[in-house]
Structure 1
Amino acid sequence: MSESIDHFITVPDGLRLHVRIHGEGNGGIPVVGLPGLTRNVLDFEDLARILAAAPYDRRVIAISSRGRGLSDRDPQPERYTIPVEAGDVISVLDRLSIETADFIGTSRGGLILHVLAMTHLGRIERLVLNDIGPVLEAEGLKQIQGYLGSRRAPSTFSEAAEILQATHGAEFPALGAEDWAGMARALYREIEGKLVADFDPAIAEQFRAADLAQGLPDLWPQFTLLVDKPMMVVRGAFSRLLSRETVEDMQRRHPRLVAVEARGQGHAPMLHVDGLAEKIGAFLAR
């Protein structure tokens, strides 16, 4: 099993970002994992171990965006934006002397890739969009607004797993006890004997305050920039954020796009479950 190595990389405005690398000695084009809105490098832990080992032997680099996990909280919360976080990704690549990479973007991480399509298209070789696309359904956004900050605070990791399963279990029937326990470990951190959600509360406040009544602009112009790039989209079968109609539209605009449905999962699918990791590994190896 591949061991991971943690790095802390300072970006231009002085914040340190937590970067975890699996298979650091592996060659070839690295794979960069970009987590979701309030998530961190642990979202890619199981997938990264698989991709870093035989037969794939990839170097996998997961980045916790500012304010998430062990990355520094931003004293100016207004900088928690997708363009700023996209710039952070490029700063990390530059510090690691990575010119091009394959990318896996979960939810917000996939939105960051749409921004990079405009600013640094040449840095992207292949990309996997995990339950995200150019159109975000209002129902899914409201669902995220609803559960951010509304869960009761757990006292133990086992209680955290129970709360997560109670909140999301209907949309994730494919997950077992170990999966819920892993999700709890990824979402919470123990600080001074108490479990806390492992992200800056300002991120949740900012998202909950967003006015969704007018809808959000689509990202088809940015998506169009990516149509020459090998692309896979993974959609949770119970996702409310990425619709089947949007995936079908993505396929029409990108005829070589590989679409995979994560059975028994909602937003956003865990990528090591039900053979998804092997499908991603095979796609990235083409």
Structure 2
Amino acid sequence: MPNDQGFSDFFYGAPDGLQLHARVYGETNTGRWPVVCLPGLTRNARDFHELALHLSTHAANPRKVIAFDYRGRGQSAYDPDVKNYNVGVEAGDVLAGLAALDIAEAAFIGTSRGGLIVHVLGMIRPAVLKAIVFNDIGPVIEVAGLAHIQSYLERDPTPKTFAEAVDIQRSVHGEDFSALTDADWARMVWALYRETDQGLMPDFDPKLVDTVASLDLTQKLPDLWPQFEALAAIPLLAIRGANSRLLSAGTLEQMGKHHSMMETIIVEDQGHAPFLETGGLPSDIAAFLDRAERKNIPK
């Protein structure tokens, strides 16, 4: 049953037996497409809380929303084998969670790494994808964006207080996110950290940092254009932060040329990745899902 925060915790076993976690918002099956929310590399289900509440309690078209914690993040167990922290394994974990919830198809919202997982799902289980929202991700990842991620993960200090954590995040990301309010920064910190005896700690397995630090950014990164083109028949909304270092304006333009049904939103004064609960984004995403579902109804 949902708690007083609007969701229930769902635990399930990964294909290799690791215990994983997801949040489920909106227990009732409304007949609408459910929505699957997939976070970024080191993020977790809490990133989607406000958006999930909006979608699951929408007055006209409420939807069931499932927000996943990947292995090694949030309330999911840490994997003793760091090699399993990859998008292929994580895509399999998501499919296992959907099977446990008896969900055969859904709309997917993927932030950063979550969008890469959607690319993988399009190759291994395309029928599960009814509509897609990419949040600041596409088939080409800019080296400058990955370098920025490497930099702040490698030197991420441990804050002693919530206020100090907010100050740290502002110092790292403030230039790219001038649109954020104090409340936005507070939500970011609430979603990113957990309380421990040593103070606030990022809520992910520290070994994840090694998977990013080991990337050789002097080499050209492989693109995912074949995987993206496989999504061409699926309604797509691409959201880009105007200050993004990971998804370039040029890549976004090319995505539109490869996908005739793609809609686009540019979020001013935000970088990688836009906060989906800010501005009009919750209503924009809900409206996109409604349009996509209406077009899907057989005549």
- Shorter-chain TM-score category? over 0.9
Gap regions ≥5 residues in structure 2: 292-299
User: Paired residue for 1:220?
Assistant: 225
User: Paired residue for 2:142?
Assistant: 137
User: Paired residue for 1:12?
Assistant: 15
Gap regions ≥5 residues in structure 1: none
Equivalent of 1:23 in 23, 26, 46: 26
Q: CA deviation at 1:285?
A: 1.0
Q: CA RMSD in A?
A: 1.1
User: Paired residue for 2:67?
Assistant: 62
CA contact (8 A) 2:15 2:92 kept: no
CA distance in 1 between counterparts of 2:234 and 2:161 reads 44
Amino acid at match of 1:58: R
CA distance in 2 between counterparts of 1:54 and 1:111 reads 28
Q: CA deviation at 1:166?
A: 1.4
- 2:46 is the alignment partner of 1:52: no
Q: CA deviation at 1:9?
A: 1.0
CA distance in 2 between counterparts of 1:160 and 1:140 reads 22
The total of aligned residue pairs comes to 286
Q: CA deviation at 1:26?
A: 4.3
Q: 1:44 aligns to what SS in structure 2?
A: helix
Equivalent of 2:44 in 35, 40, 53: 40
CA distance in 2 between counterparts of 1:240 and 1:48 reads 26
CA distance in 1 between counterparts of 2:5 and 2:208 reads 32
- 2:101 is the alignment partner of 1:92: no
Amino acid at match of 1:253: H
Percent pairwise identity: 49
CA distance in 1 between counterparts of 2:128 and 2:211 reads 30
The Cα offsets for residues 52-84 of structure 1, whole Å up to 9 and x where unpaired, read as: 112331111000100001110001111101100
CA distance in 1 between counterparts of 2:52 and 2:21 reads 16
- 2:200 is the alignment partner of 1:163: no
Q: CA deviation at 1:192?
A: 2.5
CA distance in 2 between counterparts of 1:259 and 1:213 reads 31
Q: What are the equivalent positions in structure 2 for 1:183-198 lying under 5 Å apart?
A: 183-192=188-197, 194-198=199-203
Q: CA deviation at 1:147?
A: 0.5
CA distance in 2 between counterparts of 1:42 and 1:215 reads 33
1:202/1:2 CA distance change after superposition, 3 Å: closer
The 4+ residue runs of structure 1 with deviation greater than 2 A are none
CA distance in 1 between counterparts of 2:44 and 2:196 reads 17
CA distance in 2 between counterparts of 1:2 and 1:139 reads 38
Amino acid at match of 1:215: K
Equivalent of 2:235 in 230, 234, 238: 230
Q: Normalised by the size of structure 1, how large is the TM-score?
A: 0.98
User: Paired residue for 1:3?
Assistant: 6
Q: 1:170 aligns to what SS in structure 2?
A: coil
Equivalent of 1:248 in 248, 253, 277: 253
User: Paired residue for 1:265?
Assistant: 270
CA contact (8 A) 1:129 1:234 kept: yes
